[in-house]
Amino acid sequence: MALLLAKGEDFASWRGVEEFAVTFRDASVKLASKKHPEGISQMLELVEDQINTVAAENKHLKTEVERLVLELEKISDPGELRTVLFSFYRYSYQHFRRFRSATAFFKMSDSILSAMLKTCLKLAKQQIDCNFPPMALVTMGPVGRRETTRFCRLHLAIIWDGKTPEKQMENLGKELVAWLRVTGIAIEEFITPLKPEWCGNLQKWHNRFETALLKKDRFEFIELIRLADSSIIFTEYGVGERFSKLCTSYLEKTEFIANLVERCQQLSNGISMMGNLRLEKTGPHRGAFPLLDHALLPLSASVLAICLINGVTKIGTPERLRELVRIGKLDVDLAERAVHAWHCFSEHRIRLEQHASPGQDCRDILHLVPTDLETAEYELLFSSLETVGDLQRYMQISFGMHE
């Protein structure tokens, strides 16, 4: 319970450094007073020095990231945009190596990507130089959950209000994507403003939802359910907020939830019938564990489905789990274990990406070699996968009660 509710933070977040320092200092004094009372002063001084050094390093890295975010507002040169993004990831992965906080890493990544998108949108508008209607930029997938890494492919949509000619907005989408590519951001080619289905006004989106429901189009259900994992990056005159309300009103309908639950049931939690890890049997990753397919994806999808069933609209897996506990729709023990699983999977993900080359596909990166894991790491991974299986079963029960 403490992990879920203690001041709204996760145990791996470094934001509580001052409180940690006080607690650690007090514990050190108690230990020293029991075993070596004559050395309390010397030990406390050593502890203070170590804490101050670590705190200063954290502050320095955090300050550098904040500086880069502010720099983006003034940049118009493509080369400088790439340089800023490269510098950001150098600092963010350095911070992760030092503090092992997936929470802090994702928060930093979300801030730089949001700033980059807003800057590229501004530059794209300047390139076209015409009057644009009120609009919003919406991201989906891991970026939409604010779990961004260097190797996440950006899922992006443009929404606007009014009857502005679609051609004008399509041109804006092309310019925006071009600027994003210049920066080095990986873009999902099929979920982008370059595709008409991801670039439309509010009325077009309303019609798209209505048509999907009328035709019971399973493919459209799959495509539109992506918007349940979305964040508004940029909005004018409430367009983004109205779009979110539109999405929520449809995505909480049984037809959409049923489609998601059915697909979640088909996802493996990474443990075979014989109680072993499901490893790749062929191909370049033979003998490795696919972290994306058997851990990250089933965990986030199951939590999302449980949230849709219960009308929870929070963004991010840990936030969703806390809200489910708060409203009494998820057992505290299962939610606690799910948060631990999220940290386990996320930290493995970032560790695997630390040494990957820019431009690699995440599916080629996110493979764990079991023999490389220490015993404690293996056991934690296995118990986290068991938790995913428990979540999938709970999801099925919740949906049965919902129907």
Q: What is the pLDDT of residues 285-312, one digit of tens each?
A: 999 999 999 999 999 999 999 999 999 9
| pLDDT at res. 47 | 62
User: Mean per-residue pLDDT for 99-110?
Assistant: 90
At 366 the pLDDT is 95
In a domain, 396, yes or no: yes
Determine the Cα–Cα distance for residues 166 and 169; give it in Å rounded to an integer: 5
What percent of the chain clears pLDDT 90, i.e. is strictly above it?
67
Q: Write out the two tokens for 195.
A: 């595709």
What gap in Å lies between CA 157 and CA 233, rounded to an integer? 10
- Taking residues 65-79, report their average pLDDT: 85
pLDDT at 7 over 60: no
Give counts: helices (H), strands (E), the chain: 17, 6
Distance CA 232, CA 103 (A): 20
Assign 188 to helix, strand or coil. Answer: coil
Count of CA atoms in the C-beta half-sphere (13 A) of 11: 13
Residue 100 domain-assigned (yes or no): no
162 within domain boundaries: no
Mean pLDDT, residues 276-286: 93
**Predicted pLDDT at 62:** 79
Mean pLDDT across 113-121: 94
Residues 6+ apart with CB under 8 A from 48: 25
Q: Region 117-133: what's the mean pLDDT?
A: 92
The domain of 287 spans: 252-403
- pLDDT in the model for residue 46: 67
Q: Are strands 155-160 and 199-201 parallel, antiparallel or unpaired?
A: parallel
pTM listed for this prediction: 0.87
- Is 59 part of any domain? no
Q: What is the mean pLDDT of residues 25-46?
A: 63
pLDDT band at 161 (very low <50, low <70, confident <90, very high): very high
Q: Is the pLDDT of residue 33 over 80?
A: no
C-alpha span between 197 and 211 (Å, rounded): 13
- Please count the structural domains in the chain: 1
Strand ranges for 22-175 from DSSP E: 135-140, 155-160
Q: How far apart are CA 78 and CA 270, in angstroms?
A: 42
> Smallest Cα–Cα separation from 124: which of 168, 176, 167?
176
Would the CA dihedral through 320, 323, 328, 331 be positive or negative?
positive
pLDDT exceeds 70 at position 347: yes
Averaged pLDDT score across all residues of the chain: 88
Cβ atoms of 179 and 123 within 8 Å: the answer is yes
289 within domain boundaries? yes
In a domain, 271, yes or no: yes
In a domain, 376, yes or no: yes
